[in-house]
Structure 1
Amino acid sequence: MELLYKVEDKPPVGTSILLAAQHLLAALGAIIAVPLVVGGVLGLSTEDMVVLVNAAMLVSGVVTIIQCRGVGPVGIKLPVVMGTSFTFVGVSIAIGFEHGVAGILGSALVASLVMIIGSFFMPTIRKLFPPIVTGTVVTLVGLSLIPVAVDWIAGGQVGSEGYASITNLLIGLSVLAIVIAFAQFGKGIFSASAVVMGMVIGFAACAALGLVDFAPVHQASWVALPTPLHFGLSFPISGIIGMSIAYLVTIIESTGDFFALSTVTKTKLTGKKLSRGILADGVGSALASVFSTTPFSSFSQNVGIVGITGVASRYVVTITGVMLILAGLFPVLGALIVIIPLPVLGGAGLLMFAMIITAGVNILSTTQHTKRNGLIIAISIGAGMAVTVRPELLTNLPEFLKVILASGITTGSLIALFLNLLLPGREKATEQ
Structure 2
Amino acid sequence: MEKNEAQTNNTSTLVYQVEDKPNLGTSILLGLQNILTAFSGIVAVPLVIAGLAKLNVVDTAYLVSASLLASGIASIIQTKGFGPKKFRVGVGLPTVMGTDFGFVPPANTIINTMGGGMAGYFGASILGAILEFILSFFVKPLMKIFTPVVTGTVITLMGMSMMPIAFDWIGGGSDNPNYGDARYILIAVIVFVVILLLNRYAKGIWNSAAVMIGIIVGYIISIPFGFVDFSQIGNAEWFQMPEIARFGIDFNPKFVVPFIAGYLVTVIETVGVMETLGEVTGKKLSRDEVVAGVRADSVSSFVCPFVGSGPAQTFGQNVGLIPLTKCASQHVAIVAGVLLILISLFPKVSTVVSIMPSCVLGGAGILMFGTVAISGIKTLSKVKFTNRNLLIMASSIGIGLGVTFRPEVVAKLPGILSSLFGSGISAGTIVALILSLILKDDPDAPEIE
TM-score for the superposition, normalised by structure 1 = 0.73
Mean CA deviation greater in 355-364 or 314-323:
314-323
1:231–1:292 contact (8 Å) kept in structure 2 = no
State whether structure 2 residue 400 is matched by structure 1 residue 400.
Answer: no
**Aligned sequence identity (%):** 29
Aligned to 2:365: 349
Contact kept in structure 2, 1:122 and 1:271, CA below 8 Å: no
Aligned to 1:381: 397
- 2-structure distance, mates of 1:355, 1:367: 19
The aligned counterpart of 1:149 is 166
Kindly indicate whether residue 134 of structure 2 is the aligned counterpart of residue 117 of structure 1: yes
SS in 2 for 1:296: coil
Describe the superposition over 1:318-372 as per-residue Cα deviations: whole angstroms up to 9, x where unpaired: 7875565334311111111112222222222212222232222222222222211
Task: Determine which of 21, 31, 34 is the counterpart of 2:46.
Answer: 31
1:17 aligns with 2:32: yes
Matched, 1:280 2:291: no
Q: Give the 3 Å change call, closer, same or farther, for CA 272–390 of structure 1 in structure 2.
A: farther
1:61 aligns with 2:72: yes
Code of the residue aligned with 1:353 in structure 2: it is: F
Residue 153 (structure 2) aligned to one of 122, 136, 156:
136
Tell me which residue corresponds to 2:263.
251
Cα-to-partner distance string for 1:236-265 (whole Å, 9 max, x where unaligned): 9xx453355465344235347658978999
The one-letter code matched in structure 2 to 1:211 is F
SS in 1 for 2:145: coil
Q: Aligned partners of 1:81, 1:394: CA distance in 2, in Å? A: 33
Query: Post-superposition shift, 1:168?
Result: 0.8
Task: Determine which of 195, 205, 211 is the counterpart of 1:195.
Answer: 211
Q: CA deviation at 1:167?
A: 0.7
Compared CA separation, residues 272 and 171, structure 1 to 2 (3 A): farther
Task: Give secondary structure in 2 for the equivalent of 1:378.
Answer: helix
- Alignment of structure 1 residues 274-423 onto 2, 5 Å: 275-276=291-292, 278-288=294-304, 291-293=306-308, 296-298=311-313, 324-398=340-414, 400-423=416-439
State which drifts further: 200-209 or 254-263.
254-263
Q: Does 1:224 align with 2:240?
A: yes
CA apart distance, 1:404: 3.1
Distance in 1 between residues matched to 2:408 and 2:328, nearest whole Å: 39
Alignment CA distance shift 1:298-1:155 (3 Å):
farther
Alignment of 1:232-247 (within 5 A): 239=251, 241-242=253-254, 245=257
Match of 1:164 in 2: 180
Which sits farther off after the overlay, 189-198 or 416-425? 189-198
- Following superposition, the deviation at residue 212 of structure 1 comes to 1.2
**CA distance in 2: counterparts of 1:181 and 1:241, whole angstroms:** 44
Q: 2:275·2:290 contact (CA, 8 Å) conserved in 1? A: no
CA contact (8 A) 1:142 1:354 kept: yes
Comparing 328-337 with 266-275, greater Cα deviation is found at: 266-275
Q: Any conservation in 1 of the 2:148–2:380 contact (CA below 8 Å)?
A: yes
What is the TM-score with the length of structure 2 in the denominator?
0.71
The structural deviation recorded for 1:178 is: 1.3
CA contact (8 A) 1:141 1:256 kept: no
Per-residue deviation at 1:294?
6.4
Q: Show structure 1 runs of 5+ residues with no match.
A: 1-5
Alignment length, in residue pairs? 406
Distance across 2 between alignment mates of 1:199 and 1:232: 30
Structure 1 position 182, deviation (Å): 1.7
- Once the two structures are TM-superposed, the CA of residue 423 in structure 1 deviates from its matched residue by 0.8
